[in-house]
Structure 1
Amino acid sequence: MQASEKKILVVDDNADAADMTAQILQMYGLQVQVAYGGPEGLALARANRPDLIFLDIGMPLMDGYQVAQAVRADATLSKVMLVALTAWGDEASRNKARAAGFDMHLTKPANIVELLDIAGGKC
């Protein structure tokens, strides 16, 4: 699958952070959708089956751990790669993210090269 064919979802309740992350990924030819909260992100994931989700943890209503658990419980989303993109970088948060089903954990602000490497974009 070419990078431009990979579907990416960015979920963050901070609209500026979500939009900036999406714009950076789009600048490198990636297809990106944005959701500004857990329930919206889960609904978009179920409707569009992304290949990769960059998911904030600290969100109201439904936090990233809950979204990750719901994604992992949905057989139609079993192959999605879940990456925590969060300000919570302590070891307890990393362990909780792993237990919730995240594949990777990035601490904000994320390195652009690392984001692109995960997403399959080319610098």
Structure 2
Amino acid sequence: MRIHLTSVFVDDQDKALRFYTEVLGFVKKAEVPLGADRWLTVVSPEDPDGTELLLEPDGHPAAKPYKTALFEDGIPAASFAVDDVPAESDRLRGLGVRFAQEPRRTGPVTTAILDDTCGNLIQIVHSDE
């Protein structure tokens, strides 16, 4: 068994697609119209057949309070692996990304937390192990 798909709730699919592709560097995998919304996924260009991230509309009544609670408590909605957290943080900051947590080393793990502009905090992480 392996993870095929995971999702983040977003407040605007177009804005999310721009952020996740143009800023974070993912590539669009699927876009299927579903009424007013779309089945919209992105993948890592390093693993185009790997786990897809669904940019899921937050229209369900439970989604917005859930997102708000996580955001206000500083809890990331997702975590993405990078090779060098400080370098990636610098690159993203240069593109205007706001960080809720600057790079922080805890044992063998370095993390930072960014705002995806769509209502979520996203963690980037690198582990020495």
* CA radius of gyration, larger in: 2
More helix by share: 1
What TM-score do you get using the length of structure 2 for normalisation? 0.30
Structure with the higher strand share, 1 or 2: 2
